[in-house]
């Protein structure tokens, strides 16, 4: 009886999706609504994502325009952006908020590429932890005589191949994002 790898592959895919989600919030020199995903506004007493209470448009490569459906939320949106780690001062004209993304300095680009590398390493650790769980399961099944020595080796190889595949995908995603950030 071989180890069923679907469960572990699913967990690895979720780790990759989470990694991509984290990367999407990193500002790469051009305006993208994704940078606002993690910012929440205090709206009628509860934290609410900006996208739930306003329309976010990319007006040009370096400008985002936020138009709240309820004008009373404008101050809250502005405050949330100011207190976030976005590093951009919103310009509120009463009807909409503009975010002007300045070109990134070389220092900021290098800082972001280090952040991306760290996120990539964290994602790899998550994948390796899933591999460890799968290998522990194989050992337990072998110990309980539910699996022969050959089946255990085969299952270990399957799990390692799966791990290698997803580690390679993380490396690919990391290098693409780093390249995007280092572009001027």
Q: What is the pLDDT of residues 38-58, one digit of tens each?
A: 888 888 888 888 888 888 888
Please state whether the predicted TM-score (pTM) of the whole model is above 0.75.
no
Q: Give all domains of the chain, ordered by start, each with its CATH number.
A: 6-24+105-182 (1.10.132.20), 33-100 (3.30.1360.40)
68: its two tokens = 């709240």
* Predicted pLDDT of residue 31: 73
Burial class (CB in 10 A: 0-12, 13-18, 19+), 44: exposed
DSSP, residue by residue, 56-96: EEEEETTEEEEEESSGGGHHHHHHHHHHSTT----EE-SS-
- In this structure, of 67-71, 82-86, 123-127, 174-178, the range with the lowest mean pLDDT score is 82-86
């Amino acid at each position: 009886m071989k180890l069923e790898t679907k469960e572990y592959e699913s967990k690895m895919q979720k780790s990759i999706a989470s990694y991509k989600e984290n990367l999407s919030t990193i500002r790469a020199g051009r305006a993208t609504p994704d940078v606002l995903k993690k910012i929440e506004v205090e709206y009628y007493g509860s934290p609410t994502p900006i996208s739930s209470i306003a329309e976010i448009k990319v007006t040009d490569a370096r400008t985002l325009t936020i138009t709240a459906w309820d004008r009373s939320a404008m101050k809250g949106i502005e405050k949330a952006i100011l207190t976030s780690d976005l590093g951009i001062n919103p310009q509120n004209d009463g009807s909409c908020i503009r975010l002007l993304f300045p070109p990134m300095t070389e220092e900021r680009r290098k800082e972001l590429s280090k952040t991306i590398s760290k996120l990539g390493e964290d994602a790899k650790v998550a994948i390796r932890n899933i591999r460890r769980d799968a290998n522990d399961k194989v050992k337990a099944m072998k110990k309980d005589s539910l699996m022969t020595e050959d089946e255990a080796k085969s299952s270990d190889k399957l799990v390692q191949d799966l791990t290698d595949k997803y580690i390679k995908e993380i490396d690919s995603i990391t290098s693409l994002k780093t390249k995007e950030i280092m572009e001027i």
